[in-house]
């Protein structure tokens, strides 16, 4: 157990260190700012190769600011993945580098990306717990069978735990949909899936208002019925269901 914990902490630390060393990813559809620190009089960006490996010969002169050349005229970043570029300096030195394009300018290699799986795990865990409570907890009062029919001998308060468990389960479901929609919109480039996730989220939020109103009405209805039952039980010791 200790070895597993140490390994997990080490992996998270390494991911954070490596992420800090990598250039910030570029958001899809935006212009990239290429920076090349090099001591020369001039420098040309010669080629840029997108993830589909279709090399583009651009051969543009980069601007010089101090000892750093920069070029921000490349905006064809609709493909997600690694882009490589090559450059040639006036002194004959040539080399290359790369940058990454993601859906929102972030990357799963960053430590912040671990938040989504953690939230998802906690949410599913609590959702499972409250669904089990909603199923297992009995709904109803303490009853007995008599010759005259079923009677209520005691009002049970535990049924309210069942009702609140159902209500909380739906709110946890809303959080689950919200987390999934956030993951899809931030890290997946498939637009139909993003639209579906957002439509499910919007529909679930709209239905949530109706669920809340129904639950509030049902809880107050049960409270009123329990008040009536308690008065009858205190007076007669029991309450016949067919007389209520």
Q: What is the mean pLDDT of residues 213-224?
A: 90
**What are the chain's domains?**
23-102 (2.60.40.1930), 111-243 (no CATH)
Torsion of CA 34, 38, 42, 45, to 10 degrees: -30
Count of CB atoms within 10 A of residue 142's CB? 12
Report whether pLDDT(227) > 70.
Answer: yes
DSSP conformation letters of 72-94: EEE----S-EEEEEEEEETTS-E
Report whether pLDDT(174) > 50.
Answer: yes
38-47, 158-167, 172-181, 223-232: the lowest-pLDDT one = 223-232
Report whether pLDDT(179) > 80.
Answer: yes
Report whether pLDDT(7) > 50.
Answer: no
Cβ contacts of 18 within 8 Å, gap of 6 or more: 109
What is the percent of the chain where pLDDT is above 70?
Answer: 78
What is the percent of the chain where pLDDT is above 90?
Answer: 24
Report whether pLDDT(219) > 50.
Answer: yes
pLDDT band at 21 (very low <50, low <70, confident <90, very high): very low
Tell me what pLDDT residue 140 has. Answer: 77
Rounded Cα distance between 104 and 90, Å, is 36
User: How confident is the model over 72-90, as pLDDT tens digits?
Assistant: 889 998 888 889 999 999 9
Q: What are phi and psi of 190, to 5 degrees?
A: -80, 105
């Amino acid at each position: 157990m200790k070895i597993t914990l140490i390994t997990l902490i080490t992996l998270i630390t390494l991911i954070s260190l490596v992420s800090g060393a990598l250039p910030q990813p570029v958001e899809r559809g935006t212009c990239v700012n290429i920076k090349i620190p090099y001591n020369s009089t001039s420098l040309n960006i010669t080629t840029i190769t997108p993830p589909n490996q279709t090399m583009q010969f651009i051969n543009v002169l980069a601007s010089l600011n101090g000892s750093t050349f920069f070029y921000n005229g490349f905006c064809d970043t609709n493909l997600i993945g690694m882009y490589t570029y090559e450059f040639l300096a006036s002194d004959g030195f040539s080399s290359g580098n790369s940058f990454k394009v993601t859906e929102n300018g972030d990357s799963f290699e960053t430590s912040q990306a671990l938040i989504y799986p953690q939230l998802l795990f906690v949410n599913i865990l609590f959702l499972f717990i409250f669904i089990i409570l909603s199923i297992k907890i009995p709904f109803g009062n303490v009853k007995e069978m008599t010759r005259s029919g079923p009677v209520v001998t005691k009002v049970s308060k535990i049924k309210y735990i069942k009702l609140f468990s159902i209500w909380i389960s739906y709110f946890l479901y809303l959080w689950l949909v919200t987390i999934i929609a956030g993951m899809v919109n931030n890290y997946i480039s498939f637009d139909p899936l993003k639209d579906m996730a957002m439509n499910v989220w919007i529909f679930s939020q709209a239905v949530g208002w109706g669920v809340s109103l129904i639950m509030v009405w049902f809880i107050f209805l049960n409270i009123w019925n329990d008040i009536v039952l308690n008065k009858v039980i205190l007076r007669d010791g029991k309450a016949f269901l067919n007389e209520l």
